Amino acid sequence: MPPLIQLRDVTVRREQTIILDRLSTTIPKSRHTAVLGPNGSGKSSLLKLLTRDFYPSVETDGHQGEVKILGRSDWEVSDLRRSMGIVTPALDSEFSHGRTGRMTVSEAVASGFTATRLKEFGPNITGEVADAVDQAIKTVGMTSLASKPVGRLSTGERRRTMIARAIVHRPPIFVLDEPTGGLDMTAKAKFLEIIDSLANQSAITMVLVTHHLDEVPPPMNHVVLLDRGRIDFDGNKQDGLSGDRISRLFNIPVSVSRGNDGWYEARIKG
């Protein structure tokens, strides 16, 4: 089986600015991976490569890097997005208002099958689809709110709905971008409990993009650290999340500890 995600010498430029610089990394099936780095390190740009919002730039020497997803580099964008499960702040915002926000939780989750934003473009609700929707909603603890419009949910409830939408069609790749932004303490704890549970499953390979160490679930044992558009580290979580390495990456002295439950915590020294 080819790797789920493979980047080879990928550079992304915007005018004269290098956003990503000769990135190479591979994510095989079942290797849950956290991509960490400070703001401006290139995390969001890396995600845009995976969703085909960005493409590798052609260098002055004619070189162009390669991005392969599920063994292919020739994806139609709509087909690619139906082959992945994605939760991003922009997507969450789209489901908070307008016609999209008037969809019920069940309708919003069902739209994950077609990667669309309106129920009119959603799937035919067969028995199999309905069962999958019910199961995904149950997984995130939203069964009692299945008929409520998404735009009337709290931020935490809507974010859980976005998880259900992302996993309803059982995609091989599940990508979360800064998933707990805007959540209060209780909603964040519930959200992390859900992704911890999902990370214990091998059917979906999770890619978590964040700058918070405390969001990396214990079963996620691989990390990629980005620094100013380059990969600073790509390997085992225990080696990557050392105090010295994280201090250099974020340019501030921090201590990193791992709790008995497997979750990490970083604290600024002093």
Q: Average pLDDT of 117-131?
A: 90
**pLDDT value of position 270:** 73
**pLDDT value of position 1:** 79
Q: Tokens 């002295």, residue?
A: 253
pLDDT digits (tens, 9 = 90+) for 207-217: 999 999 999 99
pLDDT at 60 over 80: no
Q: Are 117 and 94 in contact (CB under 8 A)?
A: yes
**pLDDT value of position 188:** 94
Rounded Cα distance between 176 and 195, Å, is: 10
**pLDDT tier, 201 (very low <50, low <70, confident <90, very high otherwise):** confident
**pLDDT value of position 61:** 78
Domains and their CATH numbers in the chain = 1-83+172-270 (3.40.50.300), 89-171 (no CATH)
pLDDT at 32 over 90: yes
Q: Is 225 exposed, middle or buried (0-12, 13-18, 19+ CB in 10 A)?
A: buried
The CB density around residue 69, as the number of other CB atoms within 10 Å, is: 23
**pLDDT tier, 245 (very low <50, low <70, confident <90, very high otherwise):** very high
Q: Are 143 and 154 in contact (CB under 8 A)?
A: no
**pLDDT value of position 187:** 94
**pLDDT value of position 262:** 95
Rounded Cα distance between 192 and 156, Å, is: 11
**pLDDT tier, 14 (very low <50, low <70, confident <90, very high otherwise):** confident
Please name the residue ranges forming H helices in the chain.
Answer: 43-50, 77-82, 89-94, 98-101, 105-110, 127-139, 155-167, 185-199, 237-240, 243-250
**pLDDT value of position 5:** 96
**pLDDT value of position 192:** 95
CA-based diameter of the chain, in Å? 59
pLDDT at 63 over 90: no
**pLDDT value of position 254:** 96
**pLDDT value of position 16:** 82
The first and second tokens of residue 113, run together, are 């099958």
**pLDDT value of position 120:** 84
Per the model's pLDDT, the better-predicted residue between 122 and 235 turns out to be: 235
The first and second tokens of residue 246, run together, are 């994280």
Total-model pTM = 0.93
Q: Average pLDDT of 18-24?
A: 94
Q: Average pLDDT of 97-126?
A: 92
Handedness of CA 137, 139, 140, 145 (dihedral sign): positive
- Taking Cα atoms as reference points, which of 20, 46, 24, 26 lies closest to residue 205? 26
Measure Cα distances from 59 to 20, 21, 47, 56, 62 in Å. Answer: 12, 11, 21, 9, 5
